[in-house]
Amino acid sequence: MVYRFLGLTPQHGITSGLTPQRGITSGLTPQRGITSGLTPQRGITSGLTPQRGVRSNSSTWHHVRSNSSTWHHVRSNSSTWRHVRSNSSTWRHVRSNSSTWRHVRSNSSTWHHVRSNSSTWRHVTSNSSTWRHVRSNSSTWHHVRSNSSTWHHVRSNSSTWHHFRSNSSTWRHVRSNSSTWRHVRSNSSTWRHVRSNSSRWHHFRSNSSTWHHFRSNSSTWHHVRSNSSTWHHVRSNSSTWRHVRSNSSTWHHVRSNSSTWHHFRSNSSTWHHVRSNSSTWRHVRSNSSTWHLRAHLWVMFSRYQIEENGTKQSDKGRYYPSMSNKKCVSFPTLQNILLHLP
């Protein structure tokens, strides 16, 4: 009678092939309800009989799926039920009091309490003293760990834990299940996706119309950036970096063939920092028409010459060998300035 009242025939049940006598999942009798120990009168929530069980009536109940013996999600658009999942024998008892979640308990002694304020998840305590907070924003779960005031967000994809550290509202660090740190920064709503597939990190950032792509294939990083009409290309093939940047008339072309140096910065028309493949920083400064390098390497704008320790080389070719390590760096398009770091 209840099924006819709801407009469903007994053959429909919950999923095709399940009769009303079989309950919600195969092997469960109507008397057992959803979890063992619940009487038919209690059903899922108090006041629901086993015949009503879980179904979709207009816009009240939404998603219930049984895949073999695994239960996944039960949600009501009302303010009471949200999510219930059972994997084989791992049922979690959930109770809803009006629109606030109060208690979630597992059959083990690991975690116990979950509380929600409006639609935001607040607290989860484990048997240790480490885990504190869990928050759900819309349909995305964010696992939050509070270790002093530094750690905030941790998310687990499958069996891999990814640690996120936040300083105020800016994201700083991302750590995978290995001991390798990946640096990721998010300012307000700019960062979109951070994903770890096995040991490969894939980072995507979208700032309005500016795309920032960061991909790590094993230990190789590939960077590509485009800002409006300015192209920023950075590619790492094995240990070789290719840098190309065009910002109006400031940055033009910088290329490192071999594994010598990598990082360049421009402030208006003044160059500041150059880093080599080692951990040594080379400071480069442009004062008027004179270039100063830390290793006493002088590069003149007008005369294509390199002076190192009093020794001069005058050559109008594109490459200038170093006195120390015989390596070449060319800058053919940046005001015909040729720089090289020893």
**Could you report the per-residue pLDDT of 142-190, keeping only the tens digit for each?**
444 443 333 333 443 333 334 444 433 333 344 433 333 344 443 333 3
C-alpha to C-alpha distance for 297 and 329, rounded to whole angstroms: 13
Q: How confident is the model over 77-124, as pLDDT tens digits?
A: 333 344 444 433 333 444 433 333 344 443 333 333 444 333 333 444
Match 């799926």 to its residue by tokens.
65
pLDDT at 102: 40
CB-count exposure of residue 339 (10 Å: 0-12, 13-18, 19+): buried
| Whether 114 contacts 105, CB under 8 Å | no
pTM above 0.85, yes or no: no
CA-CA-CA-CA torsion for 228, 229, 230, 235, nearest 10 degrees? 80
Q: Which two tokens stand for residue 308?
A: 């190192």
* Number of other CB atoms surrounding residue 196 within 10 Å: 22
In this prediction, residues 299-310 reach a mean pLDDT of 33
pLDDT value at position 202? 39
Ranges of each domain in the chain: 1-91, 251-342
Task: Name, in order, each residue with C-beta under 8 angstroms of 59's C-beta and a sequence gap of 6 or more.
Answer: 77
Terminal Cα distance for the chain, rounded: 89
Asked if residue 33 lies in contact with residue 52, where contact means CB atoms within 8 angstroms, the answer is: no
Calculate what percentage of the chain has a pLDDT beyond 90. Answer: 0
Whole-angstrom Cα distance, residue 266 to residue 269?
Answer: 7
Q: How confident is the model at residue 197 (pLDDT cuts 50, 70, 90)?
A: very low
Residue in this structure with the two tokens 């998310």, named with its chain if needed: 155
Better pLDDT: 224 or 319: 224
pLDDT score for 60? 36
SS3 assignment for 200-244: EEEEEEEECCEEEEEEEECCEEEEEEEECCEEEEEEEECCEEEEE
Which pLDDT value is given to residue 150? 36
pLDDT in tens, 265-281: 443 333 433 433 333 33
pLDDT of amino acid 27? 31
Closest CA to 96 of 33, 58, 47, 59: 47
How many Å apart are CA 83 and CA 73, to the nearest integer? 5
Q: What pLDDT is stored for residue 338 in this prediction?
A: 37
Q: Residue 44: what pLDDT?
A: 34
Angle, CA 144 vertex, CA 211 and CA 79 arms, to 5°: 95
- The rounded percent of the chain whose pLDDT value lies above 70 is 0
pLDDT at residue number 222: 40
pLDDT in tens, 200-251: 333 343 333 333 444 333 333 344 443 333 334 444 333 333 444 433 333 3
